[in-house]
Amino acid sequence: MTPSLTIAIDGPAASGKGTIARQVALRYGLRHLDTGLLYRAVASLCAEEGIALEDAVAAGERATRLVPSDLEREGLRSAAAGRGASVVAAHPSVRAALLRWQRDFAEKAPGAVLDGRDIGTVVLPDARAKLFITADPDVRAARRWRELSETRNIAYRDVLRDIEERDARDAARSNAPMRQADDADLLDTTDMTITDAVAEAARLIDGRLNR
C-alpha cells in the first residue's frame, strides 16, 4: 500500500492556518480536516446536553460518540464555540477520544492536510511536511474581528481578549499544548496578504517534499 501523504499545519487562532490548509490541500490533491471543528463540536454538544465543559469524564465520554455530521452543527464558528472548545481541549480524555478520529482521517489515501494545535507534535509526528503559522495577536484579532463583524456587532477589544485568553490556555495546558514541532517550518503571516502566505506555505512544503 502506498503510504498516505500527510501535512501538518499548526498555529494559534486566526493565524491564517485554516485558509492556508485548505489551499494546500487543493494544491496537492489531498483531503483537509480542520481539527478545531472536532473540539468545537464536542463543546457545542456538551452545552446542548447539559454537560459542564469542566467535567472531564463526561466531556471525554461525549467525545467518543462524535459522528461526522456533528461537524456541520450550526454555530461552530462562533467565538463562544471557540472558547468552549479551548476548555474541553484541555481534558486528556477528550484529546484521546479525538486522536483516533484524526489519525484515521489522515491515513486514508491519498492522504490529508490537518490543521490544529498539536498536529505536528502529537497527531501526526511523522507528517512529511509541517508548518507552524503565526502572526502578531493584534493582527490576528483584527482579521477575526473583520470576519465576525460581517454577521454581528462585536468590539475589537473583546475579540483581542478572547484570542489572548485562548492562546494562553492552549499553550499552557499540560496535555498536547500548542507548540511548534522541532521539525516544523515557521511562517509568520503578520505582514503578509493571505495570497502571499499561501504562496510561501507552498514554497516551504515543496522544499520539504523534495528533500
How far apart CA 68 and CA 186 sit, in angstroms, is 31
Does residue 130 bind ligand DC (CB under 6 A)? no
How far apart CA 36 and CA 131 sit, in angstroms, is 16
Does residue 16 bind ligand DC (CB under 6 A)? no
Other Cβ atoms within 10 Å of 142 Cβ, number: 16
Q: Which of 5, 9, 13, 20 binds ligand DC (CB under 6 A)?
A: 13
**178: three-class secondary structure by DSSP:** coil
Q: In the complex with ligand DC, which residue's Cβ is closer, 54 or 206?
A: 54
Does residue 36 bind ligand DC (CB under 6 A)? yes
Site for ligand DC in 163-182 (CB under 6 A): 166, 170
**100: three-class secondary structure by DSSP:** helix
Does residue 45 bind ligand DC (CB under 6 A)? no
For residue 110, whether the previous peptide bond is cis, meaning omega lies within 30 degrees of 0, is: yes
Residue type, 74: E
Q: In the complex with ligand DC, which residue's Cβ is closer, 128 or 179?
A: 179
Q: Which of 32, 91, 117, 143 binds ligand DC (CB under 6 A)?
A: 117
Does residue 89 bind ligand DC (CB under 6 A)? yes
Does residue 118 bind ligand DC (CB under 6 A)? yes
Cell of 162: 478572547
Q: Are 24 and 97 in contact (CB under 8 A)?
A: no
CB of 20 to ligand DC, least distance (A): 12
Cell of 59: 466531556
Name the residue among 64, 18, 19, 7 with its Cα closest to residue 41.
Answer: 64
Q: Which of 82, 93, 120, 121 binds ligand DC (CB under 6 A)?
A: 82
List contacts with ligand DC (CB under 6 A): 13, 35-36, 39-40, 82, 85-86, 89, 116-119, 166, 170
